[in-house]
């Protein structure tokens, strides 16, 4: 897996990237909250939101194709719930409301994660007095999640190259074996990380 795929543009340079992370986080949060609060009849609000976000995208030198693909990945989820909402008496109205609001929020979050490195987001949360344990867990998770995904993919590839087919029950057992070993390796890795962290002065 491409490790930097998700926030691939977080570390490029642009006027938006140079803005303080706290400002970007605050604006994104305010925009998402106000979008949830504003009624759908306030068309000027939603139009100005979209224009503002498109301006941020261009000023942040993010390719429109990349942002578009990231947006489309959510659509199946939205479509599923939207279909359910369509089956009430003002369903079309609810459908439009969901699609407009969810896409604006999604666009804001894609832009935030691709203009702000995650470490900077965590630094802002730390100054906001978020619980230190939660921040440590988030930082470690961001550091190691792609490593573990790679590790599980290597194990799955090794299994595929050694087995041909097999009954479904058998395949479930081997998949569960992979997940189980992933957990065991994670605990062993956590012990090594603890030694390395204390050796470098972590209290």
Does residue 181 bind other proteins (CB under 8 A)? yes
Minimum distance of other proteins from residue 6's CB (angstroms):
5
The DSSP output letter for 129 is T
Select from 82, 83, 129, 122 the least CA-distant residue to 102. Answer: 82
Nearer of residues 16 and 95 to other proteins, judged by Cβ = 95
* Residue 165 CB neighbours (<10 A): 6
User: Taking CB under 8 A as the rule, does residue 133 contact other proteins?
Assistant: yes
* Identified binder of other proteins from the candidate list 19, 27, 32, 124, rule CB under 8 A: 32
Q: Residue 65, CB half-sphere, CA atoms under 13 Å: how many? A: 0
Question: Shortest gap between Cβ of 105 and other proteins (angstroms)?
Answer: 3
- Residue 186 near residue 148 (C-beta atoms within 8 A): yes
Q: Which of 14, 52, 85, 123 touches other proteins by CB under 8 A?
A: 85
- Rounded to whole angstroms, the Cα distance separating 11 from 118 reads 10
- The Cα–Cα gap between 63 and 85 comes to 33
Task: Annotate each residue in 52-71 with x if it binds other proteins (CB under 8 A) or - if it does not, as one string.
Answer: ------------------x-
Residues 92-131 that bind other proteins (CB under 8 A): 94, 97-106, 109-110, 112-113, 118, 121, 131
Number of residues that bind other proteins (CB under 8 A): 79
């Amino acid at each position: 897996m491409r490790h930097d795929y998700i926030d691939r543009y977080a570390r490029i340079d642009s006027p938006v990237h140079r803005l303080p992370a706290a400002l970007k986080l605050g604006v994104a949060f305010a925009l998402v909250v106000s979008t949830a609060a504003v009624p759908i009849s306030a068309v000027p609000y939603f139009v100005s939101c979209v224009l503002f976000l498109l301006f941020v995208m261009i000023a942040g030198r993010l390719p429109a194709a990349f942002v578009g693909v990231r947006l489309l990945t959510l659509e199946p989820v939205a479509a599923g719930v939207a279909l359910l909402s369509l089956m009430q008496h003002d369903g079309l109205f609810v459908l439009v409301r969901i699609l407009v609001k969810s896409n604006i929020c999604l666009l804001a979050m894609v832009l935030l994660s691709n203009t702000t490195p995650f470490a900077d987001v965590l630094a802002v949360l730390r100054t906001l007095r978020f619980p230190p344990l939660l921040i440590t867990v988030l930082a470690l998770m961001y550091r190691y999640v792609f490593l573990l995904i790679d590790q599980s993919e290597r194990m799955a590839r090794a299994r595929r190259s050694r087995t041909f087919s097999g009954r479904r029950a058998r395949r479930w057992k081997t998949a569960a074996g992979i997940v189980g070993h992933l957990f065991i390796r994670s605990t062993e890795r956590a012990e090594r990380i603890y030694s390395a962290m204390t050796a470098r002065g972590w209290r």
